[in-house]
Structure 1
Amino acid sequence: MVDEARARKMADRIKEIVAKKLDRGIKDPRLGFVTITDVRMTGDLQHASIFYTVYGTEGERADSAAALKSATGMLRSEVGRNITARVTPSLEFILDALPETAASIERLLQEARERDNETQTLAANATYAGDEDPYVKPRTDEDDDEEDDATR
């Protein structure tokens, strides 16, 4: 049976422990400016997926991924010492695509704004292709009198 509240609390605790250890405990020169964005636990609390972002170039991201992979055992030991669970969960580091996704969405929103502005400009300068009011109107007595004059 999955206890969602316990899994969420453990994920928050693991996030805090790993972030603190990355900040103060790992001396790997390959490790760049890493931010832990989220931790998700499996229902049985035996596996933690740790999402992170790296500020920098693609090379710095690859170096940081290698540093995190080599430090996984040490980080798991640290997590095991600081949580109250029967089994220490295995850790998996996953590069979070959130910044790239946000940038992509921002680009799409900007493109939509530009197209909306173009459409408003075109609509403001547009003219009717035919009459302004193309709908047929009911005949009035004046129209009948004009037709009679025209047929005579």
Structure 2
Amino acid sequence: MADPARARKLAVRIRQIVSAAIEHQIKDPRLGMVTVTDARVTSDLREATVFYTVFGDDTQVADSARALASATGVLRSTVGKQTGIKFVPSLAFVADHVPDTARELDEALERVRSADAELARIREGASYAGEPDPYRRPVEESDEDEDTDGVRTADDDADVPTETRSAS
């Protein structure tokens, strides 16, 4: 097991070497506009995964993948010469889909922002449905309904349910 810091440093160095070699050394016509985005090395320093993106459509991505697969030996020997390590890790190239995902997320966020702005525009002139105060308040008894002498009349008993009339 190698030191994780050493694996990270080697990954950064491999990314730099591979990107420079693709730009200056590899002359394959199938190779499109390739950008090396990241490199990762296993903890035993035996395998390296190089992530890349290609500017263009799906055919250019597929052609660039075939060109990188055929240039793996040349790129590995270049990495070995420039790093000077005893065992040169094997290289595996993986197309990086992070930029595409980030672009899709940005587009989704823009759609949400425009929908929020449209909702805010509609909401500006809106008013509440129903009464301004929707909560029920207890009915306050007025002084006019009370008898002055405090005696119940037959009219008062008509308002009370029969169950409570017998109890009073």
User: TM-score, structure 1 length as denominator?
Assistant: 0.86
What SS does the corresponding residue of 2:142 show, helix, strand or coil?
helix
Give structure 2 stretches of 5+ with no counterpart.
147-168
Q: Report the residue type matching 1:116 in the other structure.
A: D
Q: After TM superposition, where is structure 1 displaced by more than 6 Å over at least 4 residues in a row?
A: none
What is the Cα deviation at residue 2 of structure 1? 4.7
Root-mean-square deviation (Å):
2.0
Find the aligned partners of 1:128 and 1:105 in 2 and give their Cα distance. 35
Tell me what 2:23 maps to: 23
Percentage identity across paired residues of the two chains:
48
Tell me what 1:5 maps to: 5
What is the Cα deviation at residue 138 of structure 1? 5.8
What SS does the corresponding residue of 2:27 show, helix, strand or coil?
coil
Find the aligned partners of 1:57 and 1:101 in 2 and give their Cα distance. 15
Give structure 1 stretches of 5+ with no counterpart.
none
Q: 1:38-62 deviations in whole A, cap 9, x for unaligned?
A: 0011111111110011112221111
Find the aligned partners of 1:147 and 1:82 in 2 and give their Cα distance. 104
Find the aligned partners of 2:143 and 2:110 in 1 and give their Cα distance. 57
**How many aligned positions are there?**
146
Q: Report the residue type matching 2:64 in the other structure.
A: S
**Aligned: 1:95 with 2:87:** no
What SS does the corresponding residue of 1:11 show, helix, strand or coil?
helix
Find the aligned partners of 1:74 and 1:136 in 2 and give their Cα distance. 82
Q: Report the residue type matching 2:22 in the other structure.
A: L
What is the Cα deviation at residue 144 of structure 1? 3.4
Find the aligned partners of 1:119 and 1:147 in 2 and give their Cα distance. 51
**Aligned: 1:73 with 2:70:** no
Q: Report the residue type matching 2:118 in the other structure.
A: E
Answer 1 or 2: higher relative contact order, Cα 8 Å, separation at least 6: 1
Find the aligned partners of 1:88 and 1:29 in 2 and give their Cα distance. 27
What SS does the corresponding residue of 2:131 show, helix, strand or coil?
coil
Tell me what 1:144 maps to: 141
User: TM-score, structure 2 length as denominator?
Assistant: 0.78
- CA change 1:113–1:146 in 2 (3 A) is farther
Q: Report the residue type matching 1:114 in the other structure.
A: S
